[in-house]
């Protein structure tokens, strides 16, 4: 038993329900505001973007939401995902801590994003949608939604952040093979894109800009296209809860319970996915697991951003939500190679952070790639740079345990593999990466750029 490394579940262990933390957290959600009127959004406003089933999930108070049969069938292509004990990494660190990781990189597209792409495409299909629009940064979300749209015969337009479009052609080729149309954002196809290009013809793009373009294309389609988002929204976090539910069973198989659960955060979905079922156990069953979100020092929305209402996108097309934000016009530094570039954070997670139920930390990218390399050499998996933020924090926890001699149990989410991120790995191995802290002057002016609202 003590020698086991892999903890595998069978098909019948795939969760049949998504878990909704809002049923247990007792935190009333802040209103979501219409970007034009700055009044709470109406279902009609949201229904231009999303099918009704997803809108209902967004505001649901139900503790468990049944996963449709068709979605279960597609989940079986890669779920349950394995949970492993990183014994070789433990040995390399000389730590008494036990390090476990849940590996979501086994999904066909290489990340956890398939967990929400499949149900989002499914609900759109059954509500009569024929086409979707979306944005993608590093390309993981675009790949996942392209695959899912292929499953359900939906057309897909992907607005891909220009700098990634140039640096990651293979992600684009993958999306195109699944049948998606991919555009380098900013484009001159939308008002949002054209207004950015007018001022900055060489704009590298940002997630905020790409979201504006994808939302604009859906809003102006006369009901022909819906929009889909791969993180941040509550229904996305819900869908990701399968990660934590499986992990609970697998830790049980390992005969241990985590003292700390760690995930990287961009918009917050993979962290929420692994952490929320453990938060339920804290709230309902007296467990005391620490839940640690890890972000880059280059985009420190939780640790240094302002908790306020802000636009979800740069061109102010998307709803205004209450979140930790760096400002909707945020453009990430060109030197930053580690992903996780969104200016805001899932409102659900922000409210839990504000209430002290989860923790957050920020790490520099050189240390992140150091951790990725050590992990690859020990465990044989080349991790996504995003996921490597969680590896960094897990290693730091294990090194602290080495100092204190504590047999701490650490679980982190390995949200994806890095097989399409070799451009960034090359920058690291050739010594071109430097740490970058988001400047204090920029933090100081966030407040001036926020919308003025009455909530």
Ligand X SMILES: *Cc1c(COP(=O)(O)O)cnc(C)c1O
The residues that touch ligand X, with contacts defined as CB under 6 A, are 111, 113, 140-141, 231, 264-271, 340, 384, 386-387, 415-416
Indicate the helix (H) or strand (E) that contains 85.
strand 83-85
CB of 240 to ligand X, least distance (A): 7
Give DSSP secondary structure letters for 313-337: STTS-SPEEEEEES-TT----TT--
Q: Decide whether 95 or 387 has the Cβ nearer to ligand X.
A: 387
> Is residue 255 helix, strand or coil?
coil
- Angstrom distance (rounded) from CA 365 to CA 392: 10
Smallest separation (angstroms) from ligand X to the CB of 94: 28
CB of 115 to ligand X, least distance (A): 10
How far apart, in whole angstroms, are the C-alpha atoms of residue 102 and residue 316?
36
- Cβ closest to ligand X, residue 45 vs residue 375: 375
Smallest gap from residue 5 Cβ to ligand X (A)? 22
The closest residue (CB) to ligand X is 416
Q: From the CB of 342, what's the least distance to ligand X, in Å?
A: 8
Phi, psi torsion values for 65, nearest 5 degrees: -120, 125
Beta carbon of residue 111, minimum distance to ligand X (angstroms, whole number): 4
List all residues 6 or more positions away from 120 whose beta carbon is below 8 Å from its beta carbon. Answer: 54, 145, 148, 228, 235, 236, 239
Nearer to ligand X (CB atom), residue 138 or residue 409: 138
Shortest distance, position 71 Cβ to ligand X, whole Å: 19
Cis previous bond, 186, omega within 30: yes
For residue 76, which of 140, 142, 120, 12 has the smallest C-alpha distance? 12
Cβ proximity to ligand X, 102 vs 113, nearer residue = 113
Q: How far is it, in rounded angstroms, from Cα 179 to Cα 176?
A: 5
Question: β-pairing, 290-296 with 260-264?
Answer: parallel
Residue 299 CB, nearest approach to ligand X (Å): 11
Name the residue nearer to ligand X (CB basis): 248 or 414: 414
Q: Closer CB to ligand X, residue 377 or residue 419? A: 419
Q: Choose between 95 and 111: whose C-beta lies nearer to ligand X.
A: 111
**For the range 250-253, what are the long-range contacts, defined as Cβ-Cβ under 8 Å and sequence gap of 24 or more?**
250/7, 250/9, 250/80, 250/83, 250/102, 251/7, 251/83, 251/100, 251/411, 253/7, 253/9
In angstroms, the CA 269 to CA 266 distance is: 8
Strands (E), 256-329: 260-264, 290-296, 306-311, 320-325
Pairing of strands 409-414, 98-103: parallel
- Are 24 and 201 in contact by the 8 Å Cβ rule? The answer is no
Q: Is the CB of 83 or the CB of 265 nearer to ligand X?
A: 265
CB under 8 A, 24+ apart: contacts of 54-58: 54/120, 54/123, 54/235, 57/234, 57/235, 57/238, 58/233, 58/234, 58/235
Minimum Å gap between C-beta 223 and ligand X is 28
Work out how close the CB of 389 gets to ligand X at its nearest, in angstroms, rounded to a whole number. Answer: 8
The smaller minimum CB distance to ligand X, of residues 254 and 318, is found at: 318
Give, as one character, the DSSP assignment of residue 80. S
CB closer to ligand X, 327 vs 339: 339
């Amino acid at each position: 038993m003590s020698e086991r490394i892999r903890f595998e579940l069978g098909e019948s262990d795939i969760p049949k329900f998504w878990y909704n933390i809002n049923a247990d957290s007792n935190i009333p959600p802040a209103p979501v505001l219409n970007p034009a009127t700055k009044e709470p959004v109406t279902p009609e406003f949201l229904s231009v973007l999303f099918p009704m089933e997803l809108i209902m999930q967004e505001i649901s108070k139900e503790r468990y939401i049944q996963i449709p049969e068709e979605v279960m069938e597609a989940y079986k292509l890669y779920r349950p995902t394995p949970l492993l004990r990183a014994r070789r990494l433990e040995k390399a660190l000389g730590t008494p801590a036990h390090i476990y990781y849940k590996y979501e990189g086994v999904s066909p597209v290489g990340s956890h994003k398939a967990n929400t792409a499949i149900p989002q495409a499914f609900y759109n299909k059954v509500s009569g949608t024929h086409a979707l629009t979306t944005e993608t940064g590093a390309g993981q979300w675009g790949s996942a939604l392209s695959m899912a749209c292929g499953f359900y015969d939906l057309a897909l337009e992907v607005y891909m952040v220009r700098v990634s479009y140039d640096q990651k052609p293979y992600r684009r080729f993958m999306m195109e093979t699944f049948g998606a149309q991919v555009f380098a954002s900013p484009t001159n196809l939308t008002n949002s894109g054209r207004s950015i290009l007018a001022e900055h013809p060489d704009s590298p793009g940002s997630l905020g800009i790409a979201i504006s373009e994808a939302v604009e294309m859906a809003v102006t389609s006369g009901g022909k296209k819906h929009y889909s988002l791969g993180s941040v929204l509550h229904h996305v976090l819900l869908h990701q809860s399968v990660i934590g539910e499986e992990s609970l069973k697998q830790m049980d198989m390992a005969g241990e319970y985590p003292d700390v659960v760690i995930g990287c955060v961009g918009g917050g979905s993979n962290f929420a996915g692994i952490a929320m079922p453990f938060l339920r156990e804290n709230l309902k069953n007296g467990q005391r697991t620490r839940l640690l979100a890890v972000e880059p020092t280059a985009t420190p929305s939780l640790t240094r951003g302002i908790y306020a209402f802000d636009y979800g996108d740069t061109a102010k097309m998307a709803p205004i939500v209450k979140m930790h934000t760096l400002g909707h016009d945020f453009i990430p530094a060109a030197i930053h190679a580690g992903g996780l570039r969104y200016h805001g954070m899932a409102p659900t997670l922000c409210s839990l952070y504000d209430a002290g139920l989860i923790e957050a930390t920020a790490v520099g990218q050189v240390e992140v790639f150091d951790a990725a390399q050590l992990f690859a050499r020990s465990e044989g998996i080349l991790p996504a740079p995003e996921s490597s933020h969680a590896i960094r924090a897990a290693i730091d926890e294990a090194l602290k345990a080495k100092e204190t001699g504590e047999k701490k149990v650490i679980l982190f989410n390995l949200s994806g593999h890095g097989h399409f991120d070799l451009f960034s790995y090359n920058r690291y191995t050739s010594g071109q990466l430097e740490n970058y802290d988001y400047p204090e002057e920029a933090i100081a002016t966030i407040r001036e750029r926020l919308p003025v609202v009455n909530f």
